[in-house]
Amino acid sequence: MNKSKFITLGCRLNTYETEAMKALVKTEEVSNIAVVNTCAVTAEAVRKSRREIRKLYREDHKRKIIVTGCAAQINPNDFSNMKEVSNVFGNIEKMKTETWKKFSNERIISSGHKRIQVNDIMTHNNKENNTIIDGFGTRSRAYVQVQNGCDHRCTFCIIPYGRGNSRSVTQEKIIEQIKRLVSNGFKEVVLTGVDLTSWGADLDKQPSLGNLVIQILKMIPDLPRLRISSIDSIEVDDALMEAIANEKRLMAHFHLSLQSGDNMILKRMKRRHLRDDAISFCDEVKKVRPEVTFGADIIAGFPTETDKMFENSLKLVTECDLTWLHIFPYSARVGTPASRMPQVRGQKVKERAKELRALGSSQVSKYLTSQVGLQHKILMENETLGRTEQFAEVQFKTPRKPGIIISAKINSFENHRLTI
């Protein structure tokens, strides 16, 4: 039986769903296929998806290529029209057993017809994962999808049209999965979703993300480390702030969806916060967790962004004391309001992204310098690499056992990694 191949582009949610698809394909004994799980967040991500498809076809033109993910959900015909592609599945269809069951029938997959199975994701309201997986990657950190979709419509973002409206997994299902992960040896769990702070708004009694975090830590006392992925700081509720202040098993590392440091740009993006809101949130967290580090998404060269507006984004990095920056050169997505706004020249966008990345690199060096000589609890991801509670990488000269948490003193840093 020929082995199936999977290519994943984009976010952690896609990685999670690829692992779920692998389980479905294995259960249904599907073979000799290649699945490309696409990303649509930028035009470059879509181009990369196409390159991967053509590469797979060159490697083995007899293998059936199936395209799914956000880019396929938004523009299925664009991929169906590629000669290399056999089938296109939407984001809902890829997670269904019956979708893959058909591929156990050799006659169907050999028919040569281009089949599109992409339904209107905006009408999908299933609040449960169709497939729950017990972690992926190393046996140290597991990612748990607790939410999918987004109810907001930021003017630059195409993702709601690929993911649909916000849908939450129930607290009971989440806790059940995390208990299994802990029993399987995982020491850290990361809660992930498209719009994580909206978790619970569509459930009975509308529990908040903070309520979920508190219940996880209460119901699973043997979970050493809980981490939450990207959050919208303006939507952080009182319960989550209470957990940040009092729950030391909740890691002091938060990635913020900030996007810009200029109020006018934030309004044109249709964001829900202003720059002072971001600064206030960071200050408030630092008061109760002085050891905290922040990451952030920032877009360089959003339409209408002037030099002065860009300077406000640069200033925000230091005013919020951000450490781990994800910089995105603005990429116009057809159909979004921002794509119809006056655009910043491409070269200027690249220059601003480069300047932000340089500042980000400087911020990382500053932080790592401040950690030399300090004691840290480090989760080993492999024999020589681990991460602190603040998500800094630590390089070890002497091999250690993967999956354990050790306490060690930082000697130095090199290449943006702490060293021991």
Position 129 scores a pLDDT of 47
Instruction: Give yes or no: residues 25 and 150 share one domain.
Output: no
Position 109 scores a pLDDT of 45
Domain contains 83: yes
Instruction: Give yes or no: residues 180 and 280 share one domain.
Output: yes
Domain contains 338: yes
Q: What is the pLDDT of residues 124-142, one digit of tens each?
A: 665 544 455 555 556 688 8
Residues 6+ positions from 351 with CB-CB distance below 8 Å: none
Q: Indicate the number of domains in the chain.
A: 3
Domain contains 183: yes
Domain contains 86: yes
- Give dist(CA 365, CA 342) in Å, integer: 36
Task: From 67, 85, 119, give the residue that closes a domain.
Answer: 119
Q: What is the pLDDT of residues 93-127, one digit of tens each?
A: 888 888 888 766 554 444 444 588 888 777 766 55
> What dihedral angle (degrees, nearest 10) is formed by the CA atoms of 91, 95, 97, 102?
40
Task: From 323, 344, 367, give the residue that closes a domain.
Answer: 367
Instruction: Give yes or no: residues 182 and 233 share one domain.
Output: yes
Position 150 scores a pLDDT of 94
Strands (E), 322-364: 324-329
Q: 65 is written with which tokens?
A: 């290529």
Position 119 scores a pLDDT of 82
Position 133 scores a pLDDT of 58
Instruction: Give yes or no: residues 168 and 291 share one domain.
Output: yes
- Domain of residue 359: give its range: 141-367
pTM of the shown model:
0.88
Position 111 scores a pLDDT of 44
Position 135 scores a pLDDT of 57
Residues 6+ positions from 368 with CB-CB distance below 8 Å: 392, 413, 416, 417, 418
Instruction: Report the CATH number at residue 316.
Output: 3.80.30.20
Query: What are the start-end ranges of the H helices in 117-229?
Result: 160-163, 171-183, 209-219
Instruction: Give yes or no: residues 351 and 214 share one domain.
Output: yes
Long-range (24+ apart) CB contacts under 8 A made by 364-371 are: 364/323, 364/324, 364/416, 365/413, 365/416, 367/293, 367/323, 367/392, 368/392, 368/413, 368/416, 368/417, 368/418, 369/413, 371/410, 371/413, 371/418
* Residue segments in the chain with a per-residue pLDDT below the cut of 70: 1-2, 103-114, 124-139
Instruction: Give yes or no: residues 149 and 195 share one domain.
Output: yes
Buried b (16+ CB within 10 A) or exposed e, 125-158: eeeebebbbebeeeebbbbbbbbbbbebebbbbb
DSSP state of 304: T
Task: With H, G, I as helix, E, B as strand and everything else as coil, classify residue 99.
Answer: helix
